[in-house]
Amino acid sequence: MDRLGIDYLTLGKSTEKVEVFNRFGGGSCQTTPLVARCISKIYALNDAYDSGKNINVADFDRLRYFVLEADKEAYYTCID
């Protein structure tokens, strides 16, 4: 997460809930700030890939797996 600029130490300590939205098909759910930031980064990596930029696919996959393990509802709402 360091390589992707995600401040997981600070975000991981937060107990607040934030709402995340599926940008493609709608739907939303509550999750942690860390998971929300990861979802945002997954979308950004996807956009970069779609625009022809070279991305590290392993980073993309690792973030997706992290979200799946951390919050299945957020994964199935926003990523799957």
Q: 34-53: per-residue pLDDT in tens? A: 999 999 999 999 999 999 99
Identify the pLDDT of residue 80: 86
* Domain boundary assignment for the chain: 8-79
Identity of residue 32: T
Nearest CA-CA partner of 70 in 37, 24, 25, 26: 37
Q: Where are the beta strands (DSSP E) in 1-80?
A: 18-21, 28-31
Residue 3 has pLDDT above 90, yes or no: no
Specify the DSSP class assigned to residue 12: T
Identify the pLDDT of residue 70: 97
pTM for the structure as a whole: 0.92
Residue 78 has pLDDT above 90, yes or no: yes
Phi and psi of 54, rounded to 5°?
A: -85, 120
The helix-helix angle for 57-70 and 33-50 (nearest 10°) equals: 150
Residue 5 corresponds to which tokens in the numbers above? 């600029």
